[in-house]
Amino acid sequence: MKLYLLAGEASGDARGAELIRSLRARDAGIEFHGFGGPQMAALAGPEAVHDWIERAGVIGIIDVVKHYGFFRRQFAIALDEIARLRPDAVVLIDYPGFNLRLAAALKKAGTKAKVIDYISPQVWAWNTGRIPKMAAILDLMICIFPFEKPLYEQSGLKTVFVGHPMLDSLAEKRIAAAREEDLLGLFPGSREREVNKIFPVMLEAAGLLRKVRAGLRIEAAAASEEMRGRMADIARRYPDVPCEITVKTTHKLMQRATAGMVASGTATLEAAYFGLPFVLLYKAAWLTFLIGRRLVKVRWLGMPNILAEREVVREFLQEDARPEAIAAEVGQMLDDSQARTDFQENLRSVISKLGESGASERAAEAILVASRL
């Protein structure tokens, strides 16, 4: 059996690697090809999986336009390889802007491979009208949020809810340590554009908090050594806000800190899983945000709030991401232990909606069944 997997971001690379392990546990003879990142390439072999994550992980419409030529070339390579390799299935992992176009091109070309989407694009947030079009180009949708399944099934698309793979990956990262009093965790994201816009706001808010809490310690988690350097450059502009910047410590810091500030994205669900009382921040280029606001049909940006159907986590977006307002909200968390306990209870309720552990195993089984039909 041959499978062609395609992921375009670091989170998708992690999900792809989990899939490869789960699939091999069921059938050691499966041959893997595709596009991904270092984790997928390490398992399948760099000659089989193109490691393109560093260039593919752009954010926003403006970045996509800037890199149009690159994406067009990779699109052509993927189509050519699939036609030549003739895999049993093409598994598209998240990354909808590229992957759904590829699915449409494969159907138009008459591919015999099953086209499977793992981790549904958030069309329920911005354009449910696309679901029937997706049903026409996909053979199977594997979703990770429970409310997605009925939406896709209404269009006739075969859909499987497997639960959230985060439950497995994060369970292994729990530490037996109590939260450290007066420790504030900053999580500004993994992309340079995000960090440039969000980290200064976090530092300004932390500085305001420290003026009235002399014992407050501030620690920020960087996604890489390169990003730590960039964050250190930003931090030097705030000499009165001592901030320790550590690398790849996100999950430990989420369990050690008393409260936190988290950039919108996957990290908000991770923070919820670890029970960190936190606020959500988001800032983007004004045009990207304006277009996004016109398209998005949900009331909240953060997935914890979408799952809860209410604002469990306070959101500070764009011009509302003001240091004074953020500091006031986080200050209440730092000062009120009962408020933190109530917050954590709400987060446990949110996480319970994600299903049980074993998502990648269930996804692997669904892929094998679909591939053999």
Quick one: 152 and 208 in the same domain? no
Instruction: Please give the residue range of the domain that contains residue 364.
Output: 2-165+358-372
Q: What is the mean pLDDT of residues 39-59?
A: 87
Reported as a pLDDT band with limits 50, 70 and 90, residue 62 is low
Q: How far apart are CA 91 and CA 99, in angstroms?
A: 9
Quick one: 203 and 218 in the same domain? yes
Domain count, the chain: 2
How far CA 328 is from CA of 13, 313, 320, in Å, comes to: 37, 14, 13
In a domain, 175, yes or no: no
Contact 208, 287 (CB under 8 A): no
Quick one: 325 and 296 in the same domain? yes
At residue 22, does pLDDT exceed 80?
Answer: yes
pLDDT tens profile 218-256: 999 999 999 999 999 999 999 999 999 999 999 999 999
Quick one: 217 and 83 in the same domain? no
* pTM for the structure as a whole: 0.81
Q: Across the chain, what does the average pLDDT equal?
A: 92
pLDDT for position 225: 95
Quick one: 281 and 132 in the same domain? no
Q: What is the mean pLDDT of residues 314-320?
A: 92
Q: What is the mean pLDDT of residues 326-336?
A: 97
Quick one: 119 and 154 in the same domain? yes
In a domain, 155, yes or no: yes
Q: What is the mean pLDDT of residues 338-365?
A: 96
Q: What is the mean pLDDT of residues 76-105?
A: 96
At residue 58, does pLDDT exceed 80?
Answer: no
Quick one: 311 and 362 in the same domain? no
pLDDT tens profile 163-175: 999 999 899 999 9
Bridge partner list, 260? 185, 278
Quick one: 290 and 149 in the same domain? no
Quick one: 26 and 158 in the same domain? yes
Q: How far apart are CA 69 and CA 176, in angstroms?
A: 48
In a domain, 283, yes or no: yes
Q: What is the mean pLDDT of residues 205-212?
A: 97
Q: What is the mean pLDDT of residues 213-220?
A: 96
pLDDT for position 78: 97
> Residue 317's domain is classified under what CATH number?
3.40.50.2000
Quick one: 230 and 258 in the same domain? yes
pLDDT for position 57: 67
Assigned token pair, 183: 């420790």
pLDDT for position 144: 95
pLDDT tens profile 276-315: 999 999 986 555 555 455 555 557 889 999 999 999 999 9
In a domain, 38, yes or no: yes
pLDDT for position 54: 81
Q: What is the mean pLDDT of residues 261-268?
A: 93
Closest CA to 81 of 124, 50, 54: 50
Quick one: 246 and 273 in the same domain? yes
Which run of H or of E encompasses 164?
none
Quick one: 301 and 216 in the same domain? yes
Q: Lowest-confidence range among 36-40, 66-70, 240-244, 360-364?
A: 66-70
At residue 213, does pLDDT exceed 80?
Answer: yes
46 or 248: which carries more pLDDT confidence?
248
pLDDT for position 291: 46
Q: What is the mean pLDDT of residues 29-58?
A: 91
Per DSSP, the three-state class of 199 is helix
In a domain, 178, yes or no: no
Reported as a pLDDT band with limits 50, 70 and 90, residue 67 is confident
Contact 326, 260 (CB under 8 A): no
Q: What is the mean pLDDT of residues 312-324?
A: 94
In a domain, 173, yes or no: no
Reported as a pLDDT band with limits 50, 70 and 90, residue 266 is confident
Q: Give residues with Cβ within 8 angstroms of 24, minimum separation 6.
A: 30
pLDDT tens profile 72-89: 999 999 999 999 999 999
Percent helix, strand, coil in the chain, to 5, is 55, 15, 30
In a domain, 176, yes or no: no
